[in-house]
């Protein structure tokens, strides 16, 4: 069949011809059509690129001043990969508009302190969002000494994001106004949808259908909000006054309460957050969409997930595996051993199935939130271990054997501990670490400092940092026993993750070693098996 495409000049370069070709090819296959022909002017290089980069089998020849293109439309592995890559890019960009908006309206911004609408507006302004924030209130002219607008439609200029804090029965009306205003994304904090009853579930479906029809992505309903600590964004779009450290760890949680608790705990560990989303009911945007966003996000090096369900397991599998091959993903998946009388929500897979899915996709599963934070802290600050060989450097035999036993129990290969004696000063630690790093016999080092009568935490911490900065790719972790000030193992040049006891350090190291081994395996390829052999 002969095909032709017309794209309005205002929409050139947005990938619309590629999408039209994919949809047209799918419709043609259903109609029994096996290929397309097209006539393209030689100077129309972009359209020629659409045909050649679509992944279908293509041939062309020059005839009477035009290039005649013949295109087979059977889905080849290359075509499927191109379609998947395009979908991933489109989804990542749609999520980016939610996490990097240039302007925000808080719909339902309230004059009353202690309300969700008041707190969201306050947090955005107080944290210094880099862009205009418009309070929208149907009954007020001023909110928190800022001019308010009666409707999204009254807000001057363009709006990228609306954070919706109105009652559930008003949310669809707000979405309609946002669509007319060409708002690109909604974060719906309102509850009373699928989290309430069947009627709320139906209202949620209507809301998502409307948002998708008008090109808006939606986080929520029943969401806690979104955070982006990038200094060029500084968005704190939530009503919870958590205070994340800026950093390079992405975080997604379905439960807002758990998400806020993780942020607080991460701060105590010195683990910084790049972006955070508590997705609530996951009616539209889910963890899958956020994983795709983080895959190419230059501000994120490691991802943490608190998972209550996978949504679409097949999509999660593809997305998580693709991300894990580039960046580590650490997850807590709840639902492992339900208590008596507990009824698992519909759609929750058995724990053995969930465990297998996470293992195959390279996701590092931990048993609890503390382990997730420990593992993410290690991944965010140190290189991946090249293998399982671990040296223990300490100034006390008791912690030395405790550490060696813990490493061995976690499947690692501890070398004979290096005991510096309890009188060892900071220089002894630094010299011993330099010797271990130069030996070429280890892949990681666990330093355990046990204070004698007088503790030298600050000086020992400084010595460990200086040595770790010269480690040349060898992973370094540490335990500083006893009461001391946190943060002694971090500066602008290097961060050595600190653990309360050697057992926690060994467990985190073992998980990271297994992840490194998984990532070093060949990716493999799909086999083209004839249908007769299936």
Query: Three-class SS of residue 354?
Result: helix
pLDDT for the residue numbered 534: 46
278 and 253 in contact (C-beta within 8 Å)? Answer: yes
Rounded to whole angstroms, how far apart are CA atoms 404 and 391? 9
Share of the chain residues as helix, strand and coil, in percent rounded to the nearest 5: 40, 20, 40
**Strand boundaries in 103-211, DSSP class E:** 104-107, 133-136, 142-143, 146-147, 161-164, 185-188
pLDDT for the residue numbered 481: 93
Summary mean pLDDT of the chain: 90
pLDDT for the residue numbered 34: 87
pLDDT interval class at 58 (50, 70, 90): confident
Of 28, 35, 34, 62, the C-alpha closest to 48 is 62
Higher model confidence: residue 202 or residue 17?
A: 202
CB atoms near residue 319 (< 10 Å): 25
pLDDT interval class at 339 (50, 70, 90): very low
Instruction: Please state which of the ranges 164-168, 378-382, 456-460, 515-519 shows the lowest mean pLDDT.
Output: 456-460
Phi-psi region of 144 (alpha: psi -120 to 50; beta: other; left: phi over 0): left
User: Does the pLDDT at position 51 exceed 90?
Assistant: no
Whole-angstrom CA distances from 314 to 310, 357, 527 are 9, 9, 19
Rounded to whole angstroms, how far apart are CA atoms 502 and 481? 9
Instruction: Please state which of the ranges 230-234, 250-254, 335-339, 356-360 shows the lowest mean pLDDT.
Output: 335-339
pLDDT for the residue numbered 345: 52
pLDDT for the residue numbered 340: 46
pLDDT for the residue numbered 342: 44
Query: Three-class SS of residue 101?
Result: coil
In degrees to the nearest 10, what's the CA dihedral of 104, 106, 107, 111?
A: -150
User: Does the pLDDT at position 191 exceed 90?
Assistant: yes
Q: Report the CATH fold assignment for 97-336+350-379.
A: Rossmann fold (3.40.50)
Instruction: Please state which of the ranges 1-5, 317-321, 385-389 shows the lowest mean pLDDT.
Output: 1-5
For the 383-519 domain, the top CATH level (class) is alpha beta
Instruction: Please state which of the ranges 88-92, 107-111, 287-291, 379-383 shows the lowest mean pLDDT.
Output: 88-92
Over residues 210-229, mean pLDDT: 97
Query: Three-class SS of residue 24?
Result: helix
Over residues 329-350, mean pLDDT: 63
- The pTM of the full predicted model, rounded to 2 decimals, is 0.86
Of 407, 408, 329, 395, the C-alpha closest to 361 is 329
CATH 3.40.630.30 in the chain, residue ranges:
9-75
What CATH code would you report for 9-75? 3.40.630.30
Q: In what order do the strands lie in the sheet with 364-365?
A: 235-238, 225-228, 273-278, 246-253, 302-307, 329-333, 364-365
- Most confident range (mean pLDDT) of 82-96, 102-116, 301-315, 348-362 is 102-116
pLDDT tens string 265-323:
999 999 999 999 999 999 999 999 999 999 999 999 999 999 988 778 888 999 999 99
Residue 397 token pair: 């035999």
pLDDT tens string 8-40:
877 677 677 887 888 888 888 888 898 999 898
Residue 400 token pair: 């030395």
CATH 3.40.50.261 in the chain, residue ranges:
97-336+350-379, 383-519
Q: In terms of C-beta distances under 8 Å and separation of at least 24 residues, what long-range contacts does 405-411 make, across chains too?
A: 406/502, 406/503, 406/505, 406/506, 406/507, 407/446, 407/502, 407/506, 407/509, 407/510, 409/506, 410/506, 410/507, 410/509, 410/510, 411/510, 411/513, 411/514
pLDDT interval class at 353 (50, 70, 90): confident
Whole-angstrom CA distances from 390 to 59, 247, 382 are 56, 28, 14
């Amino acid at each position: 069949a002969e095909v032709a495409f017309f794209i309005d000049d205002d929409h050139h370069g947005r990938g619309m011809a590629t999408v039209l070709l994919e949809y047209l090819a799918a419709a043609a296959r259903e109609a029994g059509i096996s290929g397309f022909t097209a006539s393209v002017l030689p100077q129309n290089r972009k359209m020629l690129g659409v045909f050649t980069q679509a992944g279908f089998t293509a041939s062309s020849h020059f005839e009477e001043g035009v290039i005649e293109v013949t295109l087979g439309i059977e889905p080849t592995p290359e075509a499927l990969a191109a379609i998947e890559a395009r979908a991933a890019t489109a989804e990542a960009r749609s999520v980016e508009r939610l996490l990097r908006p240039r302007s925000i309206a808080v719909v339902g911004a309230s004059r009353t302190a202690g309300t969700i609408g008041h707190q969201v507006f306050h947090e955005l302004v107080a944290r210094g969002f880099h862009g205009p924030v418009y309070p929208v209130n149907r009954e007020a002219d001023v909110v928190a000494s800022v001019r308010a607008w009666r409707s999204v439609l009254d807000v001057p200029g363009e709006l990228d994001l609306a954070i919706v804090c109105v009652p559930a029965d008003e949310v669809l009306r707000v979405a309609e106004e946002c669509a007319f205003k060409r708002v690109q994304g909604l974060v719906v904090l309102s509850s009373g949808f699928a989290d309430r009853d069947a009627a709320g579930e139906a209202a949620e479906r209507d809301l998502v259908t409307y948002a998708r029809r008008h090109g808006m992505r939606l986080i929520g309903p029943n969401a806690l909000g979104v955070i982006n600590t990038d200094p060029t964004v500084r968005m704190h779009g939530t009503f919870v006054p958590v205070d994340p450290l800026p950093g390079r760890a992405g975080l997604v949680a379905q439960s807002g309460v758990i998400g806020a608790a993780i942020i607080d705990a991460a701060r105590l560990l010195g683990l910084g957050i790049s972006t955070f989303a508590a997705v609530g009911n996951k009616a539209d945007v889910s963890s899958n969409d956020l994983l795709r966003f983080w895959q190419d996000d230059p501000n994120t090096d490691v991802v943490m997930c608190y998972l209550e369900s996978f949504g679409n397991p097949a999509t999660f599998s593809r997305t998580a595996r693709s991300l894990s091959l580039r960046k580590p993903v650490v997850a807590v998946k709840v639902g492992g051993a339900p208590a008596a009388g507990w009824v698992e929500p519909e759609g929750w897979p058995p724990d053995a199935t969930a465990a297998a899915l996470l293992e195959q996709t390279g996701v590092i599963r931990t048993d609890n939130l503390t382990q997730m934070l420990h593992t993410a802290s290690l991944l965010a600050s140190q290189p991946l271990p090249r293998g399982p060989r671990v040296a223990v450097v300490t100034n006390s035999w008791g912690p030395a054997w405790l550490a060696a036993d813990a490493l061995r129990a976690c499947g690692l290969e501890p070398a004979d501990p290096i005991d510096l004696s309890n009188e060892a000063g900071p220089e002894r630690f630094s010299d011993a670490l330099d010797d271990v790093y130069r030996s070429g016999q280890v892949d990681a080092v666990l330093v355990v400092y046990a204070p004698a009568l007088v503790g030298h935490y600050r000086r020992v911490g400084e010595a460990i940092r200086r040595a770790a900065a010269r480690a040349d790719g060898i992973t370094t972790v540490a335990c500083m026993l006893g009461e001391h000030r946190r943060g002694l193992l971090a500066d602008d040049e290097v961060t050595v993750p600190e653990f309360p006891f050697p057992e926690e350090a060994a467990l985190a190291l073992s998980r990271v070693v297994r992840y490194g081994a998984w990532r070093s395996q060949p990716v493999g390829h799909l086999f083209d098996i004839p249908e007769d052999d299936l």
